[in-house]
Structure 1
């Protein structure tokens, strides 16, 4: 085994961390960028940031290729034995999330180099710290370090949120900071309760110990599970904890809002790991601790968010509401607690993240050509590039709404099929189809106002159109969504394999815990219901007669 193979799992964290430190040593590259010395530093910051992010994408793809073979890639910090040392572990899901994060980050960073990175201080260093936190959350093997990486990405996001300054950003940024601090405090309380009853926070070790905690002690674990659902639900934008997001994301600078599209998925990922796996079917007395509320809340999130999108008065706020709606759809798939539904939800999450990120960038491209009206959904002067921008919005709208043959349609179709025997199937079908229709209606309304209902008494935009760099960066994100459709079969097989791997606790424990895990295996209980292996239904998964 080469040095690279031995350290692959830690490199997604080390690479952005070292890049961020180099950028800090380079000095402040914002604010005074129009001066000779400042502009020189900004150019080097851009080159270093883009090179590091591109290298991160290559590294994530290398991990994905190894994980696709079913390998669980582990890294023990300091070579401390499990479960006492810090462990990083990359499985199919973790590798997929690393690739998704890099696929969003690279075009978004390129877009930011069009001028947004010069509107504030240390943008590129903060961007790398954000990537460090995101990547760390996707590869960590224990809950405490999940908290640590959450804090790293949140601290970076606090500053990125107000990047470019402005009264509106500072106002919503203050709310964002305060609410996240409260969520972090609840996170620690939840971890303390879990540790008090199990003596560990290692995720693989929890898979062995949680089922062994019987009533009445299991009640403490169930409270901890609910607390963590509040924390992760806030970060994922699960209703009613998502009301902060539309104003926050709409106020952020476009590249920051586009990067934040992946941040909600960190919350979704944490819910998957903790509530889908640890407190899933093998949880003993704590099994399915949040199942009675997760699916209803997820469906309610999608419905309320799409209604918010219909009522939005600006394109950026509409896209922010669609971010929440997409989270609801993904969590609805998780709440079905079956491998086919999980695989479908993962596929849908890939597309929705890319499309939402592209829409945030597209919103600024349109707003920049509408004069004083900017992104407000009111008639204004015609834009300088109606055909190009209109086609881009049409493609994004069709995919977000779930029209064939785009990946939004494929993902929702798989979700509908996976839920067909579930007791909640009529509700799931109704919500998914209704949300898709209303999403299309909301985006069609926005498109008609932006491109058709123009005011003839207002001079046309004198802008020559968006910078080719900005347009191309947005097109790359939309193009990645199209690739998901063209390569739907192999990607769907991967997401399905990732979902099934999550239910294989014995393999996860063996990889994460080594000899310690070999002393025993997770208690044998009913496996996740699978099309190839029927079993007793979960509380939310009773088959129809």
Structure 2
């Protein structure tokens, strides 16, 4: 396990370099290299899950520089779970892209692999500055992927997405500078120790820096009022790209969880009240706004984007509440909602490909879908899962979230918003199904064209996760509980990164 945490970053990065080197070799070669790299990444993710399953925390100091000065990659149950979710989404997303989406612009495959490298690096890094670096890697790749294939809608959405994320990156840098100036470190475990010892009267710069960083994480998670960009950007992207983007908001949720559990602990008075007072209202507001957006969405892709935003709000509410049972519920619900949301985006792409350019996935009359039974079955499975209806994994996740909600005003708000949002989402998806599958334009005999076979195969893979999540509910929930306990314990992470026998490091503090 010594160097295993490096591989989720190294595999897609090497694949991206190789893909650039053979960019003129033809589509078959590019697709083969890309799919092989994603398959290898999935195997590495399984190995990482197995290596951390007993609670081990693996730390790799790049270049043998000791922490807190060197770059460290840290793999525990939480980061291994996030890497596994990323790999699980990447497989059907890349498979769907080989239906011809990858040929609509240049260098799709290298950018796809760099997106994976940035995502995995963000989940594995133990340093806030390198979290910024990996953010930029995944964002630069996402800029290109969002605009891939051109078109006015993608250009418009891409412009807004780029400008907003560049502004967020600037705020992130300012926050890092303030924090480093106050503490002399950006290693997350070291930040925790320095904050605990920081006198309250000297804490203003550190608090300001942490507040800015937490705000950037909330933006990455698309929480209200910073999340209005998501419902415009994701439906504009190609379906395989939107499916991969289902992981992007989870980077913000993960970063908020890691920051609050490691650095902003109760024994650090300098960090008290930085996140909790605003995160729960922002999360509940996101659920409410996304619920209204689901009702008003004009297309299946827009519905999927608002449902993704809704689930992000639910996850953020769980992080804000912060108890071990609530974190276990969050960590069970997170893989479910990411995989199901990716499946919904692929389903929207499949329907758009069959109904033609005029109708696409808009909620209006169009040609009859070919093979409506298979597509309708996939729609039913994903709709039941995403709305939290029994007996699928969404129902189990919602039950865990609601069971862990406290008997407080915030807990009551979680109950009301979660239940109402599920009811509204079910109504919206039922309305969309009645239009897409039963209402047809004249002539009644008109039938849409067949979807590309690889897109159908990718959709089948994505839908296949739904029964797997149900059949594996017991081990998945046990893993989620163990992960939540490890996150709440906090001490194993700190001692793995900064062992007790490590000599204290002298550092410079500027006035």
Query: Who is 1:110 aligned against?
Result: 95
How far apart, in 1, do the equivalents of 2:335 and 2:127 lie?
24
Confirm whether residue 396 of structure 1 aligns to residue 382 of structure 2.
Answer: yes
Query: Who is 2:432 aligned against?
Result: 446
> Structure 2 matches for 1:118-157, cutoff 5 A?
118-157=103-142
Query: Who is 1:513 aligned against?
Result: 498
How far apart, in 2, do the equivalents of 1:200 and 1:328 lie?
31
Query: Who is 1:374 aligned against?
Result: 360
Confirm whether residue 17 of structure 1 aligns to residue 2 of structure 2.
Answer: no
Confirm whether residue 314 of structure 1 aligns to residue 299 of structure 2.
Answer: yes
Find 2:423's aligned residue among 414, 437, 456. Answer: 437
Shift of 1:430: 0.6
Confirm whether residue 475 of structure 1 aligns to residue 460 of structure 2.
Answer: yes
**Is the Cα contact below 8 Å between 2:370 and 2:447 reproduced in 1?**
yes
How far apart, in 1, do the equivalents of 2:73 and 2:458 lie?
32
How far apart, in 2, do the equivalents of 1:423 and 1:439 lie?
24
How far apart, in 1, do the equivalents of 2:190 and 2:265 lie?
14
Find 1:7's aligned residue among 3, 7, 20. Answer: 3
How far apart, in 1, do the equivalents of 2:252 and 2:412 lie?
27
Confirm whether residue 358 of structure 1 aligns to residue 339 of structure 2.
Answer: no
Partner-residue secondary structure (3-state), 1:369: helix
How far apart, in 2, do the equivalents of 1:517 and 1:354 lie?
41
> Structure 2 matches for 1:195-214, cutoff 5 A?
195-214=180-199
Query: Who is 1:408 aligned against?
Result: 394
The structure-2 alpha-carbon separation of the partners of 1:411 and 1:200, relative to structure 1 and needing over 3 Å to count, comes to same
Find 1:60's aligned residue among 38, 45, 60. Answer: 45
Query: Who is 1:535 aligned against?
Result: none
Shift of 1:517: 5.5
How far apart, in 2, do the equivalents of 1:249 and 1:155 lie?
16
**Is the Cα contact below 8 Å between 1:509 and 1:517 reproduced in 2?**
no
Partner-residue secondary structure (3-state), 1:424: helix
Find 1:255's aligned residue among 236, 240, 243. Answer: 240
Structure 1: tracts of 5 or more residues without a match: 29-39, 521-545
Shift of 1:363: 0.4
Task: Please tell me the root mean square deviation across aligned C-alpha atoms, in Å.
Answer: 1.6
Partner-residue secondary structure (3-state), 1:89: strand
Query: Who is 1:525 aligned against?
Result: none
Map Cα deviations across residues 185-217 of structure 1 (whole Å, 9 max, x no partner): 000111111112211111111121112223232
Structure 2: tracts of 5 or more residues without a match: 506-511
The structure-2 alpha-carbon separation of the partners of 1:70 and 1:450, relative to structure 1 and needing over 3 Å to count, comes to same
Confirm whether residue 344 of structure 1 aligns to residue 340 of structure 2.
Answer: no
Shift of 1:222: 2.7
Confirm whether residue 274 of structure 1 aligns to residue 259 of structure 2.
Answer: yes
**Is the Cα contact below 8 Å between 1:82 and 1:513 reproduced in 2?**
yes
Query: Who is 1:533 aligned against?
Result: none
Q: Normalising by structure 2, what TM-score? A: 0.96
Range with greater deviation from structure 2 (446-455 or 64-73): 446-455
Map Cα deviations across residues 52-99 of structure 1 (whole Å, 9 max, x no partner): 110011001101011111010110111111111111110000000000
Query: Who is 1:190 aligned against?
Result: 175
Q: Which of structure 1's runs of 4+ aligned residues deviate more than 4 A?
A: 515-520
Q: Normalising by structure 1, what TM-score? A: 0.90
How far apart, in 2, do the equivalents of 1:139 and 1:81 lie?
17
**Is the Cα contact below 8 Å between 1:510 and 1:518 reproduced in 2?**
no
Map Cα deviations across residues 300-333 of structure 1 (whole Å, 9 max, x no partner): 1011111101101111111111111110011111
The structure-2 alpha-carbon separation of the partners of 1:350 and 1:409, relative to structure 1 and needing over 3 Å to count, comes to same
**Is the Cα contact below 8 Å between 1:16 and 1:132 reproduced in 2?**
yes
How far apart, in 2, do the equivalents of 1:391 and 1:437 lie?
20
> Structure 2 matches for 1:215-230, cutoff 5 A?
215-230=200-215
**Is the Cα contact below 8 Å between 2:368 and 2:448 reproduced in 1?**
no
**Is the Cα contact below 8 Å between 2:231 and 2:306 reproduced in 1?**
yes
**Is the Cα contact below 8 Å between 1:309 and 1:317 reproduced in 2?**
yes
Query: Who is 1:76 aligned against?
Result: 61
Map Cα deviations across residues 260-302 of structure 1 (whole Å, 9 max, x no partner): 0001111111111113431132332312411011011101101
**Is the Cα contact below 8 Å between 2:23 and 2:30 reproduced in 1?**
no
Map Cα deviations across residues 475-529 of structure 1 (whole Å, 9 max, x no partner): 2112113211111111111111111111223221211113456879xxxxxxxxx
Query: Who is 2:310 aligned against?
Result: 325
Map Cα deviations across residues 99-145 of structure 1 (whole Å, 9 max, x no partner): 00000001110111111111111111111111110010011011000
Range with greater deviation from structure 2 (323-332 or 206-215): 206-215
Partner-residue secondary structure (3-state), 1:74: strand
Partner-residue secondary structure (3-state), 2:461: helix
Shift of 1:27: 2.2
How far apart, in 1, do the equivalents of 2:157 and 2:209 lie?
29
Query: Who is 2:441 aligned against?
Result: 455
Partner-residue secondary structure (3-state), 1:266: helix
Shift of 1:390: 1.2
Partner-residue secondary structure (3-state), 2:59: strand
Range with greater deviation from structure 2 (373-382 or 257-266): 373-382
Shift of 1:160: 0.7
How far apart, in 2, do the equivalents of 1:422 and 1:472 lie?
46
